Amino acid sequence: MSVPEMIPVSSSNIESIGYDEQNEQVYVRFLNGSLYVYKGVPLHEFENLRDAPSLGSYLHRNYKNIYPYERIG
């Protein structure tokens, strides 16, 4: 599985995020080193996450129980 280019973010628990447009997958690398992929996420929803004032809160509210995800690293 190839991970797209990751964008560093300013967050208390997230290090960087990335988006695979072809497969509609959002990648989230946490500060503890773990890497998760969220599946079936439209581009506008990734942009909402990227632009959110608090990425952690946004991720929890709008991704956790909506999109299937798995830990890949």
Give the per-residue pLDDT at 62.
97
Domain membership flag for residue 45? yes
Is 58 inside any structural domain?
Answer: yes
Could you tell me if 49 and 26 are in contact, meaning their C-beta atoms sit under 8 angstroms apart?
yes
- Token output for 3: 């991970």
User: What pLDDT sits at residue 2?
Assistant: 84
Taking only the tens place, the pLDDT of each residue in 15-72 is 999 999 999 999 999 999 999 999 999 999 999 999 999 999 999 999 999 999 999 9
Domain count, the chain: 1
Mean pLDDT of 8-16: 96
State residue 1's pLDDT score: 65
pTM of the model: 0.95
pLDDT of residue 63: 98
Classify residue 51: in a domain, yes or no: yes
Burial 15-54 (b: 16+ CB within 10 A, else e): bbbbbbeeebbbbbbbeeeebbbbeebeeebbeebeebee
Rounded Cα–Cα distance for residues 68 and 46 (Å): 14
